[in-house]
């Protein structure tokens, strides 16, 4: 054992003796914030919204922080190395921008108690490892109302990425809202089973349009692929993440925008002060983490008033998207009259509400 340790320390010493321009002395440097995105930063999309949060951090703390971005890191065995490198380079705060970074991130957090982490859409926390999720379903409830108002064919189509709870909750919210506004509405859904294949997403949107959909929901497509189709086919579209109305000025009925700036600034602030504790941050309409941008002019003043009224009720807590009575597709009661679905069940949703045509992919 001593022998082995001596060998190890010898190797370590030898390595340190190398001219290391790569390692950084931690002491006097500004507070370093590292961001890891699963996709490249484009002018719209998931990574873009996260990056706006990073810019807000720079703006809020000026010279006290430096930020560094690593983009296009696929979930998989290599992600761990990249986040480790950030920490080795002296990062004091790391934002992990994809669910799939969870296990590597948690392990790194255990090893690096001085570094604080926040992790997108995860469900495991630690003292220095927090998670954050947007209540996107609240925004989709509002746009679902609008869809129910404007549809003439009474058919709404949904192009959905993967059947994870976040997306399922959004699909359900759209259905509940649209049918509340217009009980005759028929909802069709196509799971493309990819986060990323723009051509296939567009084919899915066209398939739904050909089946009569005149409002399309683009759930978690990172590019304006579906928005583009809606614009050229003359139907309405609701998209996720960024305001994509520039890509579909007539088509975008509303964009459900996620805004991480307040939360990121607050989390980094806490980390700077040394008061960071890993918790599960969930923000919706009330906190401004979710909002609907670019409402289409086709919505009349009365209709907007109605939407605003529901929005106010959701914000005040008077109303809830998943309020009972609520049945699933098989007709089984999931939420009783007078109750609301508790958070853990919303973020673990694996059933579709009554009235949806379509199923969860196997």
Range 149-178, binding other proteins (CB under 8 A): 157, 162-165, 168
Q: Residues of 178-217 as b/e, b for ≥16 C-beta within 10 angstroms?
A: bbebbeebbbbbbbbeebebeeebbbbbbebbeeebbbbb
Token pair of 222, please? 């990172």
Q: How far is the CB of 356 from other proteins (least distance, A)?
A: 8
- The one among 222, 243, 259, 311 contacting other proteins by CB under 8 A: 222
- Build a one-symbol-per-residue string for 335-354: x at contacts with other proteins by CB under 8 A, - elsewhere: ------------xxxx----
Q: What angle (nearest 5°) sits at the alpha carbon of residue 77, between those of residues 76 and 83?
A: 90
Report 265-304 residues binding other proteins (CB under 8 A): none
Q: How far is the CB of 96 from other proteins (least distance, A)?
A: 13
Cis peptide before 325 (omega within 30 of 0): yes
Q: How far is the CB of 274 from other proteins (least distance, A)?
A: 25
- The one among 66, 180, 203, 328 contacting other proteins by CB under 8 A: 203
Q: Are 127 and 277 in contact (CB under 8 A)?
A: yes
Token pair of 299, please? 């919505």
Q: How far is the CB of 103 from other proteins (least distance, A)?
A: 6
- Build a one-symbol-per-residue string for 34-73: x at contacts with other proteins by CB under 8 A, - elsewhere: x-----xxxxxx--x-------------------xxxxxx
Cα 98 → chain centroid: 9
Does residue number 123 form part of the binding site for other proteins (CB under 8 A)? yes
* Separation CA 145–CA 164 (nearest Å): 23
Nearest Cα neighbor of 244 from 210, 217, 209 is 217
In the three-class reduction of DSSP (H, G, I as helix; E, B as strand; rest coil), residue 341 is classed as coil
Of 212 and 324, which CB lies nearer to other proteins in the complex structure?
A: 212
Report 97-116 residues binding other proteins (CB under 8 A): 99-100, 103-104
Q: Are 262 and 300 in contact (CB under 8 A)?
A: no
Does residue number 184 form part of the binding site for other proteins (CB under 8 A)? no
Burial of 115 (0-12, 13-18, 19+ CB in 10 A): buried
Among 18-26, 50-58, 296-304, 318-326, the segment contacting other proteins (CB under 8 A) = 18-26
Among 209-217, 296-304, 307-315, 333-341, the segment contacting other proteins (CB under 8 A) = 209-217
Q: How far is the CB of 210 from other proteins (least distance, A)?
A: 3
Q: How far is the CB of 301 from other proteins (least distance, A)?
A: 31
Question: Which residues on adjacent β-strands are paired with residue 280?
Answer: 131
Q: How far is the CB of 171 from other proteins (least distance, A)?
A: 12
Does residue number 249 form part of the binding site for other proteins (CB under 8 A)? no
């Amino acid at each position: 054992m001593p022998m082995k340790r001596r060998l190890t320390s010898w190797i370590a010493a030898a390595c340190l003796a190398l001219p290391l321009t790569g390692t950084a002395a931690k002491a006097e440097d500004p507070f370093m914030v590292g961001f890891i995105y699963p996709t490249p930063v484009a002018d719209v999309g998931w990574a873009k919204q996260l990056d706006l949060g990073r810019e807000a951090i720079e703006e809020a703390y000026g010279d006290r922080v430096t930020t560094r971005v690593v983009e296009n890191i696929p979930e998989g065995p290599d992600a761990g190395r990249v986040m480790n490198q950030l920490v080795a380079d002296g990062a004091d705060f790391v934002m992990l921008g994809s669910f799939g970074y969870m296990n590597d991130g948690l392990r790194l957090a255990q090893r690096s108690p001085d570094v604080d982490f926040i992790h997108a859409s995860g469900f495991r926390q630690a003292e220095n490892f927090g998670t954050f999720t947007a209540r996107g379903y609240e925004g989709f409830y509002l746009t679902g109302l609008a869809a129910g108002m404007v549809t003439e064919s009474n058919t709404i189509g949904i192009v959905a990425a993967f059947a994870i709870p976040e997306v399922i909750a959004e699909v359900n919210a759209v259905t509940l809202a649209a049918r509340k506004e217009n009980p005759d509405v028929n909802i069709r859904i196509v799971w493309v089973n990819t986060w990323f294949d723009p051509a296939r997403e567009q084919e899915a949107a066209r398939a739904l349009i050909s089946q009569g959909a005149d409002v399309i929901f683009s759930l978690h497509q990172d590019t304006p692929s579906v928005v583009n189709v809606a614009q050229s086919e003359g139907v309405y579209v609701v998209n996720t993440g960024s305001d994509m109305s520039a890509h579909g000025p007539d088509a975008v009925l509303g964009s459900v925008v996620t805004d991480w700036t307040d939360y990121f600034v607050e989390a980094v602030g806490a980390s700077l002060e040394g008061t960071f504790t890993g918790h599960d941050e969930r923000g919706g309409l009330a906190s401004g983490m979710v909002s609907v941008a670019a409402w289409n002019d086709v919505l009349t003043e009365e209709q907007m008033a109605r939407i605003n009224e529901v929005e106010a009720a959701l914000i005040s807590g008077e109303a809830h998207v998943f309020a009972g009575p609520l049945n699933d597709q098989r007709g089984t009661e999931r939420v009783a009259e007078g109750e609301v679905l508790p958070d853990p069940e919303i973020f673990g949703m694996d059933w579709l509400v009554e009235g949806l045509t379509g199923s969860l992919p196997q």
